[in-house]
Amino acid sequence: MSDRVQEKDAESVADASALIAPVPRITMHAFCATGATEAAIEVASKDRRLLKAQVTTSSGGLGTALNVLCDQPSPNVIILESTDDRDALLAGLDQLAEHCEAGTKVLVIGHVNDVLLYRELTRRGVSEYLIAPVKPLDIIQSVSELYHAPGTDPIGRTIAVIGAKGGVGSSTVAHNLAWAIARQLATSTVIVDLDIAFGTAGLDFNQDPSQGVADAVFAPERLDGNLVDRLLAKCGDNLSLLAGAAMLDRTIDLTENALDQLLDLLRVSTPSIVLDMPHTWTSWARRTLIGADEIVIVAAPELASLRNTKNILDVLKTARPNDGKPKVVLNLTGMPKRPEIAPAEFAKALEVELAAVVPFDAQLFGTAANNGQMVAEVQPGSKVNTLFVELAASVTGRTEPKRKSGLLAPIIAKFTRRKAS
């Protein structure tokens, strides 16, 4: 090869490489059948474009995948390598589909070049088929395209949590919910404290970040994905915090669309965005609530909460005629000596099913708040913790981890995502 041709080759690789967009904050599990693919994925996982992704690599191909996925939540992306022929590979994938949650993207690395196989894989919703041997850049590019191809939806879902009244525990529910999504469902999550002046997310997660939401909304001209990344405080695996200001040096008089840019940026990079809403009815708070993908209303079992929940439900029904009902969580039930509206009556008056009924537990929630911990850390096995995990599964449309013992109903979700064309 002449020097000029070699130079051109190097240039085109560099061109292709420069065009690959960074991958969002996803989880990815590669089940490799050969050492060569495993090595390529190891290299890919350290690439700058996969920095935000959390990549796990296992050997053993399909067998390992079946073992792992039957009792763990599905990652956002599964890479499955198979050395099988067409029929065996398709049979294996059908088996895997039984353990795979809806929304999971599947990328197959095979060893046969076969148009019929490719067609069958596409029909089953497999996002991409690569033929071994694969290079690290092939993997980076394929995964990037899963999220950046024209017509691909942004990855993030916003979940707004609002209190029917101040002090009913909406922030507490928002934080524990975010924790459950991040930890129990292993989905990257950002909690955004929109009670910008007085919010307690920083305290609840034992964090004292010097920057947060205020820096994003008051500097729209500087706001981009890099700034958002810098404003996030890491709260352990899969969970980051965009804290409020916790300062009263400026008032929070935002315009109606002040949060749009920030939320759009978060939607591009993070699968799950929990919005801890303030108990105010400003134009930006209403817009953010109405624009959320999922809404959780937290209420206490008393009359003011009931009336306000009804009003919020009515506003949302008119503003979101094509969406499902918000989830209503009844918190602080069973407080000693306090007369209260029974959960069944509360639900009946609102014509909703309650998504969770959380008992008043001063000891548990008080300890968590004072220690800057979540309920799951204070009492991992508690009933309250199970309620948060169930709520997390319901608002994300995810299933809970399936136990091998079959205690939880196995939810069979076939590969549903089609490759974006």
Ligand X SMILES: Nc1ncnc2c1ncn2[C@@H]1O[C@H](COP(=O)(O)OP(=O)(O)O)[C@@H](O)[C@H]1O
Q: For Mg ion, which is the closer residue by CB, 72 or 280?
A: 280
Question: In the stretch 40-79, what mask flags binding to ligand X with x, by CB under 6 A?
Answer: ----------------------------------------
Q: CB nearer to Mg ion: give 34 or 200.
A: 200
Q: Shortest gap between Cβ of 37 and ligand X (angstroms)?
A: 47
Asked whether the beta carbons of 153 and 264 are under 8 A apart, the reply is no
Q: Is 166 in the site for ligand X (CB under 6 A)?
A: yes
5 exposed, middle or buried (CB, 10 Å; 0-12, 13-18, 19+)? exposed
Rounded CA gap, 331 and 65, in Å? Answer: 39
Nearest Cα to Cα of residue 390 among 369, 408, 415: 408
332 close to 166: Cβ distance less than 8 angstroms: no
Query: Which range in 133-141, 167-175, 213-221, 245-253 contacts ligand X by CB under 6 A?
Result: 167-175
- List the x/- string, 320-349, binding to ligand X by CB under 6 A: -----------xx-----------------
- Residues near ligand X (CB under 6 A), total: 17
Full 3-state SS string of 218-236: CCCCCCCHHHHHHHCEECC
Name which of 53 and 357 has its Cβ closer to ligand X: 357
Binding window for ligand X (CB under 6 A); candidates: 22-30, 59-67, 118-126, 160-168: 160-168
Q: Assess 308 for contact with ligand X (CB under 6 A).
A: no
- Residue 81 interacts, among Mg ion, ligand X, none and using kind-specific CB cut-offs from 5 to 8 Å, with none
Q: Is 362 exposed, middle or buried (0-12, 13-18, 19+ CB in 10 A)?
A: exposed
Q: How far is the C-alpha of 145 from the C-alpha of 371, rounded, in Å? A: 42
Specify the long-range contacts of residues 340-344, CB closer than 8 Å, at least 24 apart. 340/300, 340/301, 340/302, 341/301, 341/302, 341/303, 341/306, 342/301, 343/301
Q: Exactly one of 170, 309, 385, 399 binds ligand X (CB under 6 A); which one?
A: 170
Q: Determine how many CB atoms are found less than 10 A away from the CB of residue 23.
A: 26
The answer to whether the bond into 133 is cis (omega within 30° of 0) is yes
* Site membership for ligand X, residue 212 (CB under 6 A): no
Candidate list 172, 184, 240, 272; residue touching ligand X; CB under 6 A: 172
Specify the residue for token string 């820096």: 215
Q: Which is nearer to ligand X, 164 or 266 (CB)?
A: 164
Nearer to ligand X by C-beta: 125 or 301?
A: 301
Shortest spacing between CB 195 and Mg ion, in angstroms: 5
Q: Establish if 227 lies at the interface with ligand X (CB under 6 A).
A: no
How many Cβ atoms from other residues are within 10 Å of residue 177's Cβ? 29
* Sole window of 4-12, 169-177, 205-213, 239-247 interacting with ligand X (rule: CB under 6 A): 169-177
Instruction: Please report, to the nearest 10 degrees, the dihedral formed by the alpha carbons of residues 361, 366, 369, 372 taken in order.
Output: -110
- In sequence order, what are the residues at sequence separation of 6 or more whose Cβ sits closer than 8 angstroms to the Cβ of residue 394? 327, 355
- Return the structure tokens found at 62: 């399909």
Q: Is 171 in the site for Mg ion (CB under 5 A)?
A: yes
Residue 184 touching ligand X (CB under 6 A)? no
Q: Is 400 within 8 Å of 390 (Cβ atoms)? A: yes
The smaller minimum CB distance to ligand X, of residues 73 and 202, is found at: 202
Of the two residues 133 and 167, which places its CB atom closer to ligand X in the complex?
A: 167
**Which residues, numbered 346-405, are part of the site for ligand X (CB under 6 A)?**
358, 360-362, 365, 369
**Minimum distance of Mg ion from residue 366's CB (angstroms):** 16
292 class by beta-carbon count within 10 Å (0-12 exposed, 13-18 middle, 19+ buried): buried
Tokens 């978060």 sit on residue: 266
Of the ranges 52-60, 168-176, 359-367, 386-394, which one interacts with Mg ion (CB under 5 A)?
A: 168-176
> Could you tell me how many residues of this chain bind Mg ion (CB under 5 A)?
2
Cβ of residue 205: shortest distance to ligand X, in angstroms? Answer: 13
Residues near ligand X, by CB under 6 A: 163, 166-172, 200, 331-332, 358, 360-362, 365, 369
Residues near Mg ion, by CB under 5 A: 171, 195
